[in-house]
Amino acid sequence: MIDNIMEALQEKKYLQFILLIIIFLVIYAFVPQTESNVLWRLPPLFKELPLMINNGANYLMFEWWPIDVYDPDIEEFEQKPLFGQFTRSISGVILFMIEFIREILVGGVKTIVTFTSWDWVTENEWARWPALPWTVITGGIAILGYSLGGLRLALLVLFSFTYIAVFGQWVPSMQTLSFVLIAAPIAVLLGLFLGVWAYKSKTVEMVMNPFLNIAQIMPAFSYLIPVMVFFGIGDHAGAIATVIFATPPMVRLTVLGLKKVPPEVGEAGLMTGCTDRQLMYKVLIPSARRDILIGVNQVIMQCLAMVVIASLIGAKGLGNDLLTALNGLRVGKALEIGVCIVLIAIVLDRLSLAWANKQTDYFAELSFKEKHKYSLLFLGVFVVGVILAIIGSFIFKEGFNYLNIIPHNKGITTEAFWQAGVDWIWDTFFYSLKAFNEWLIIGVLIPVKTAFLGMPVIATFTLMMGTGFIVGGYRTALMVGGFLLFIALTEWWDRALITAYLITIAVIICSTIGILVGTLCAQHRVSSRFMLTVCDTFQTFPSFIYLIPVMMLFGVTDTSVLIAIIVYSTIPATRYTIEGLISVPQSLQDAGTMSGVNRFQRWLTIELPMSFPHIALGVNQTVVFALAMVIIGALIGTDDLGQLILKAISDEVGIGNGLVLGLCVAFIGLAIDQILRTWADQRKLALGLK
């Protein structure tokens, strides 16, 4: 009898899982909830860890390895720590580049100051870099778009930049643009470099991998604090934080792309007599361009997603305005700014894509005019724009010259309309929304939250490590246990449970919606293509954009955050479901049909099992997305890890807290990632998909 049960347990994984749940519930019920009980909560042994990180950072920044530096102000050598000088010079270079581009776009004096001094500039009134009229910039970028990607791209640029100007967001948009134009190329080049390095050396790849894993799940907020400590506050700090945030996916995709290049292409390169350098830059990287360009796209999207977050450490531009608008509950304003960010993202993405795909005609005999037509065209636009601006200065004698630069918030605005919309929704649906909100909070969220918080630490470990063991044996169990142990030994276990509760609810809802919608859409080629495009588009939007409409409906509550998470994180679940289902081989489906299954049976018995490993990876992505969103949700108020991270930013010694909190969030993600990925890999292997 007992032998039979043991045998069944060894064979059937779901029986093991049921047993695990039973053990979990028993532990849950019987472990007493007392402060001193180690089974209930582990002692916060890592309590000092943030402090140690703080001290370490301080030592590195202010004491380690003093060197003599010449100070021109006091005309003497001074002892200064090496690391501080190092970060300061990086800051200086980046800040100079950002200011330089910014002043080309909107004018200013700082570039000239760099080469002279403030005194000199104050004395010489004429030494100002004049702003280019917005018409010239718009026209110029439209011409660039035309030369790279034809009329469609030109029209897109024209529309986007005109929108930005007309809605009075010109100056902050150009500030944001100048910052992205520096951060994005640095991230792309750095990512490419690291990716190539990892591709060439197995050791480097092995060392880099865990860092990439953590970096991709760690909330962007956590980067801000160390960056702030080492590089100070300002546009350069924002740019550096953005680079740190945007580089990992670029590295990943570079390695992935390079690995996918067929070996024969590399051999062909060698046989044509390429040197190592030629092989890499003329053969391998261009052959991997599909994935590398996805990486570039990711970088641009990440950069613009960081616009708001970077504004927390002093990056000027749209992010700051959006943050203010969100805090002031000005939904219309936030929406207009959000659209600006999305438009800049799309324009940059399309331009970079078109640039990479550009083709040359070698046998065209071009006249001088033909050869330089774009430069000539730009010259024309420049002259016309400047003349218009000068005329403008006569027309708009009083106030602002709208033909030169439309000042901030002096354009047209639709805010009143949106506010009216919000008001109307509030007036009309107030009671039903409120009822729903209250039901959700009291009926669902609070009970689940209480249940999570009432979970003894030993129960959590049993459940997670047990699942890991069932899925992937000792190795997976130990990895999962390690991640959890770190969190349990900090003093934020309860906060982490709150994050986990939001994530759990969100992921369950997202997966259900995603798999349902994905399945429905995958029934037809047109609908699946349509849905994949929708997913692409929605993924383009920086995550916090989703907070805007949700706040419109539900105000500042857990519900808002939850719904924002759900809207944002359903994307990967849906996408992976569709991809998984449509990649089930036609022959297999035909075989099923010929054995007489009906449509639903075919889905249940053939398509779903075949595609489930891929769907599981989608759920994994959903977890990552949800974690990113739940932390951003702190911007509108939650009481989980995100709130603490946000607090740490404004804390002088927050670097340790911020990093450890960030690691906690990352480790939640990695623990789940470990289980899901192992499972998916095994299933894929078993199904012969790998």
Partner 1 sequence: MSSEANTSTSESPVVKCDSVYKIFGDNAQSMMKSSNGVVDATKFQAAGCIVGVNNASFEVHKGELLIIMGLSGSGKSTLLRCISRLTDATAGNIYIDGEDILSMNNKKLIELRRSKMGMVFQSFALLPHKTVLENIAFPLQVKGMSTKESMLRAKEMVDLTSLTGRENYFPRELSGGQQQRVGIARSLAIEPDIWFLDEPFSALDPLIRKEMQDEFLRLQNSLNKTILFVTHDFDEALRLADRIAIMKDGIIEQLDTPANIVLNPATDYVRKFTEEVPREKVLKIETVMDSFDPKADMSDLKVSKDAIIETVANSILNSSKPVAVTDEKGEVVGAVYAAKVIDMLFGSHSNQSVGQ
Which residues are at the interface with partner 1 (CB under 8 A)? Answer: 262, 264-265, 267-268, 270-275, 278, 282-283, 286-287, 289, 359, 361-363
* 677, two tokens: 């990925």
User: CB of residue 264 vs partner 1: minimum separation in angstroms?
Assistant: 4
Question: Which lies closer to partner 1 via its Cβ, residue 60 or residue 270?
Answer: 270
Find where tokens 């490590």 sit.
Answer: 465
Residues 105, 174 contacting (CB under 8 angstroms): yes
* 161, two tokens: 């930049």
* 354, two tokens: 């078109």
Q: How far is CA 148 from CA 142, 153, 158, in A?
A: 10, 8, 14
Residues 278, 221 contacting (CB under 8 angstroms): no
User: CB of residue 148 vs partner 1: minimum separation in angstroms?
Assistant: 15
Residues 184, 306 contacting (CB under 8 angstroms): no
User: CB of residue 141 vs partner 1: minimum separation in angstroms?
Assistant: 25
Q: Cα(554)–Cα(57) distance, rounded to whole angstroms?
A: 41
| Sequence letter at residue 580 | G
Question: Which lies closer to partner 1 via its Cβ, residue 179 or residue 199?
Answer: 199
User: CB of residue 268 vs partner 1: minimum separation in angstroms?
Assistant: 4
* 598, two tokens: 């009906």
Question: Which lies closer to partner 1 via its Cβ, residue 215 or residue 296?
Answer: 296
User: CB of residue 414 vs partner 1: minimum separation in angstroms?
Assistant: 43
User: CB of residue 273 vs partner 1: minimum separation in angstroms?
Assistant: 3
Question: Which lies closer to partner 1 via its Cβ, residue 20 or residue 265?
Answer: 265
Q: How far is CA 89 from CA 86, 94, 641, 682, in A?
A: 5, 9, 34, 49
Question: Which lies closer to partner 1 via its Cβ, residue 282 or residue 684?
Answer: 282
Q: Cα(242)–Cα(388) distance, rounded to whole angstroms?
A: 37
In this structure, the number of other CB atoms found within 10 A of the CB of residue 448 comes to 14
Question: Which lies closer to partner 1 via its Cβ, residue 275 or residue 598?
Answer: 275
In this structure, the number of other CB atoms found within 10 A of the CB of residue 301 comes to 23
Give backbone dihedrals phi and psi of 657, rounded to 5 degrees, phi first: -55, -50
User: CB of residue 281 vs partner 1: minimum separation in angstroms?
Assistant: 11
User: CB of residue 346 vs partner 1: minimum separation in angstroms?
Assistant: 24
Nearest-Å Rg of the Cα atoms of the chain is 28
First to last CA, the chain: 39
HEC-encoded secondary structure of 601-654:
HHHHHHHHHHHHHHHHHHHHHHHHHHHHHHHHHHHHCCCCHHHHHHHHHCCCCH
User: CB of residue 476 vs partner 1: minimum separation in angstroms?
Assistant: 28
User: CB of residue 297 vs partner 1: minimum separation in angstroms?
Assistant: 17
Question: Which lies closer to partner 1 via its Cβ, residue 260 or residue 408?
Answer: 260
User: CB of residue 256 vs partner 1: minimum separation in angstroms?
Assistant: 16
Q: Cα(635)–Cα(565) distance, rounded to whole angstroms?
A: 13
Give backbone dihedrals phi and psi of 70, rounded to 5 degrees, phi first: -80, 125
* 316, two tokens: 């000027």
Q: Pairing mode, if any, of strands 76-81 and 66-71?
A: antiparallel
Inter-axis angle of helices 220-231 and 608-632, nearest 10: 40
Q: Cα(544)–Cα(77) distance, rounded to whole angstroms?
A: 48
User: CB of residue 192 vs partner 1: minimum separation in angstroms?
Assistant: 15
Name the burial class of residue 17, with classes exposed (0-12), middle (13-18) and buried (19+) by CB atoms within 10 angstroms of its CB: middle
Name the burial class of residue 104, with classes exposed (0-12), middle (13-18) and buried (19+) by CB atoms within 10 angstroms of its CB: middle
- Residue 383 gets which letter from DSSP? H
Question: Which lies closer to partner 1 via its Cβ, residue 217 or residue 354?
Answer: 354
User: CB of residue 352 vs partner 1: minimum separation in angstroms?
Assistant: 15
**Residue 76 forms beta bridges with which residues?**
71
Question: Which lies closer to partner 1 via its Cβ, residue 115 or residue 362?
Answer: 362
User: CB of residue 350 vs partner 1: minimum separation in angstroms?
Assistant: 18
* 464, two tokens: 């997670």
Q: Cα(91)–Cα(87) distance, rounded to whole angstroms?
A: 6
| Sequence letter at residue 474 | Y
Q: Is 440 helix (H, G, I), strand (E, B) or coil?
A: helix
User: CB of residue 275 vs partner 1: minimum separation in angstroms?
Assistant: 6
